[in-house]
A and B are shown apart, each in its own frame.
Chain A
């Protein structure tokens, strides 16, 4: 017994319980209120879109990696879900599937899989859909929500960003036309709170993102306009769930602030001067591309390093 051989490895000998999988499960939990709200507002069509997108994403990854485990590390499920939440309520079924497949293949797998991608996969999927099938992704495809009417027929309408009209309270609760998951700031905040609580996101990216949008919104007509720009469109969903994607955002503390502020700036530039009514998707994708550069220029000062300019 005493001559027993032990396992030898290099310290540390304890590992934190968090894994990629557990983080992804936490993100799924955080998305639950958003999904719930979209089903409450938009009925069964929302549920179909969401399930279709998530399943297509997971199936694509499982097939491509020839993996027995359908769920895997859970990142495909998150990508599929996030993609669905940026779609209109009832797009054609093939649109959802093409979006999910291209999100996984073009957005992630071609770079080498989880951790290697440069751009947020869900937004890559969305961008491909917006460019390819603009008529299904913008304009009069947005349905007016009918709370608690699960199977009601919904009327189409333009989004608040296109019309420029909607009371702030409706924007906060989500009872406005828009993409599945972006309308209800309330649901997004509940989900984001869970991510904060679990320590998966910090204030830096969402804070600077929303802060810049608010500040630039102020110039459009005071505090109401500022709040309106924050609550309308995809800023809330983008700031808390898309821009905070770990793989495609900077890892240095200062870099996160710069990145978030850049997202806010580009969003507002597109909204105020661009052709698209909404700019969150392209703002985040553009800042994704800048992420390695931002990281490179915001390397923190080492402990004890003298804080003075090196000539």
Chain B
């Protein structure tokens, strides 16, 4: 686990599921009206992703490659059902807010994508780290998006009123078109900063002596979409 930090920067930066891999768009756009929904969704995805990554990694020698996708779906669906029931039992409000998007985690491309691109080729510990890292990246991204939309679109943050009575929120941000516009702007900003970072890192690397091996970004071959 010594390189968990590296996995984490990968999950948040290089392989950021929303901004870089553009996966899991549907819940991203739909539930980011409020920060609390984003957090709930993010945590659910972390749980499902970590569990499914671990189990798939454990079973990677067992599952025949021809039927691996149905097998993954069953594994993922199991955990999703668990999460769904737990949420329903302990946090019915959140469960109601997230609605159909919890069951839909089954077909969320992030989870299937990590299974396909990472867990089936790596041992348990790295798979666990990968699931956690990608999950954290997803959660953080949702939080940023939801914070912006909630603060300016509703004038609250995690339900707390921020600006008082006289504030007139920007309803556009709370509406579906606002989700697209905010996501687009954030994605552009993220990639702009990312490229800048990449350039400065390249410069630093070329200054350092050769032989400094860096871990190549794994999993960028995931099919985009979903």
Contacts and interface: CB of A to CB of B under 8 A. Distances in A.
A132 B185 contact: no
Contact of A131 (B172, B185, B188): B172
B165 to A, nearest CB: 15
B122 to A, nearest CB: 39
A131 B181 contact: no
Interface residues of B, number: 12
Interface string A89-107: 0000000001000000010
A300 interface: no
Nearest to B169: A132
A132 B181 contact: no
A134 B172 CA distance: 10
A128 B172 contact: yes
A106 B168 contact: no
B185 A134 contact: no
A110 interface: yes
B100 interface: no
Nearest to B189: A110
B103 interface: no
A98 B172 CA distance: 12
A132 B181 CA distance: 13
A133 B171 contact: yes
Contacts of A98: 170
Contacts of A134: 171
B226 interface: no
B175 interface: yes
Interface residues of A, number: 9
B177 interface: yes
A128 B177 CA distance: 10
B184 interface: yes
Nearest to A95: B168
The A contact surface, by secondary structure, is helix
A110 B184 contact: yes
A132 B171 CA distance: 4
B170 A132 contact: yes
A104 B181 CA distance: 14
Contact of B175 (A106, A131, A133): A131
B173 to A, nearest CB: 8
B155 to A, nearest CB: 12
B59 to A, nearest CB: 45
Contacts of A131: 171-172, 175, 177
A29 B177 CA distance: 35
B195 to A, nearest CB: 16
A308 to B, nearest CB: 43
Contacts of A128: 170, 172
Contacts of B188: 110
Nearest to A127: B172
A133 B185 CA distance: 21
A300 B184 CA distance: 35
Nearest to A92: B168
Nearest to B153: A132
Interface in A252-296: none
A106 B177 CA distance: 13
Contacts of A132: 169-173
A106 B181 contact: yes
Contacts of A110: 184-185, 188
A106 B185 contact: yes
Report, nearest first, the 8 A-B pairs whose CB atoms are least far apart: A132-B172, A132-B170, A131-B172, A132-B171, A128-B172, A133-B168, A131-B171, A106-B181
Interface of A: 98, 106, 110, 128, 131-134, 136
Given A106-B181, A131-B172, 8 more contacts: A110-B185, A110-B188, A131-B171, A131-B177, A132-B169, A132-B172, A133-B170, A134-B171
Interface of B: 168-173, 175, 177, 181, 184-185, 188
22 contacts: A98-B170, A106-B181, A106-B185, A110-B184, A110-B185, A110-B188, A128-B170, A128-B172, A131-B171, A131-B172, A131-B175, A131-B177, A132-B169, A132-B170, A132-B171, A132-B172, A132-B173, A133-B168, A133-B170, A133-B171, A134-B171, A136-B168
